[in-house]
Structure 1
Amino acid sequence: MLEVLGAPEVSVCGNAGQPMTLPEPVRDALYNVVLALSQGKGISLVPRHLKLTTQEAADLLNISRPTLVRLLEDGRIPFEKPGRHRRVSLDALLEYQQETRSNRRAALGELSRDALGELQAALAEKK
């Protein structure tokens, strides 16, 4: 299956036996689905514009619902309130999740550099 990535063209046959060429993004997504399934992982295909409840959104981010509500009210994640209940788009949640991961990586990199600098300074003092 590794030959699929980077291949110029991949086709599938429909019910009538007519080949249909897959666009590159579809080909890559299909490859990732097959890879995940072959590793025993589950997958879900949902539209990115899907609206989630605050509990579903909190579960996706692995945080408590009150923490999510605080993020919504602070304006860190956009939401809609079509009545009494808040709705959060999957797209907004994935964007927040990616931003949070990037910030964590940057902070970890900075901590690592600081620790390395302190270690080098301590070693230099011992010489």
Structure 2
Amino acid sequence: MTVSTVARSSVTITDELRAEAVEVVAEVGDEKFSGVTITTETGRSIQLPAGFAELLDSVVHRVQQGGRVVLESMPELLTTSNAADVLGVSRPTLVKLITDGKLPAVNRGTHRRVRWSDLSEFKQARETARSVAIEELLEADFGGE
């Protein structure tokens, strides 16, 4: 595997790396990664925690699709603008979610902040609800045959 490192925190996805990701996804099929073992430069093998398997599963699939992968660190408390960006909604929409009690927020002085963990949970619940709604639509009987 050849990876081009642009800076310490940046890696360019080469055609060769994408081809390797395609091979991995073909080998794994519909299964998700459940465990990942890495080998260090000195030959030691280390089993990574389960959360890393899920992260790497997402990264490998995205690389396979030819997409861009961006990993960022997030502060524990986000501004309403940052939280809105993560959800892909406008800031007023996010504030309404907070006001309606659908998304918890904390006050820091005169400003509202959203905990990353609360935002992540809300986003996952919203995506799950969307998936369920789509499945129900697909399975609905529209009075045909």
State the TM-score, normalizing by the size of structure 2.
0.62
Query: Would the alpha carbon gap of residues 30 and 107 (structure 1) be closer, same or farther in structure 2, given more than 3 Å must change?
Result: closer
Q: Pairwise CA RMSD of aligned residues? A: 2.9
- Mark the structure with the bigger radius of gyration: 1
Q: Helix, strand or coil: the match of 1:22?
A: strand
Distance in structure 2 (CA, Å) of the matches to 1:107 and 1:35 = 25
Q: How many residues align?
A: 115
- Structure 1's unaligned 5+ residue stretches are 121-127
Distance in structure 1 (CA, Å) of the matches to 2:95 and 2:125 = 18
**Is 2:40 aligned against 1:13?**
yes
Contact between 1:55 and 1:65, CA under 8 Å: does it hold in 2?
yes
Q: What's the CA shift string for 1:38-92, capped at 9, x where partnerless? A: 6341221435x72111011111111111110010011111111111111111221
Contact between 2:105 and 2:115, CA under 8 Å: does it hold in 1?
yes
**Is 2:139 aligned against 1:103?**
no
- Structure 2's unaligned 5+ residue stretches are 1-20
Match of 1:119 in 2: 144
Contact between 1:11 and 1:20, CA under 8 Å: does it hold in 2?
yes
Distance in structure 2 (CA, Å) of the matches to 1:107 and 1:36 = 25
Contact between 1:11 and 1:21, CA under 8 Å: does it hold in 2?
yes
**Is 2:47 aligned against 1:22?**
yes
Match of 2:112 in 1: 86
Query: Would the alpha carbon gap of residues 22 and 97 (structure 1) be closer, same or farther in structure 2, given more than 3 Å must change?
Result: same
By percentage of residues, which structure has more strand?
2
Distance in structure 1 (CA, Å) of the matches to 2:55 and 2:135 = 30
Q: What's the CA shift string for 1:104-127, capped at 9, x where partnerless? A: 22223333344x34223xxxxxxx
Distance in structure 2 (CA, Å) of the matches to 1:32 and 1:113 = 28
By percentage of residues, which structure has more helix?
1
Query: Would the alpha carbon gap of residues 29 and 99 (structure 1) be closer, same or farther in structure 2, given more than 3 Å must change?
Result: closer
Q: What's the CA shift string for 1:9-32, capped at 9, x where partnerless? A: 723326xx3625032423553454
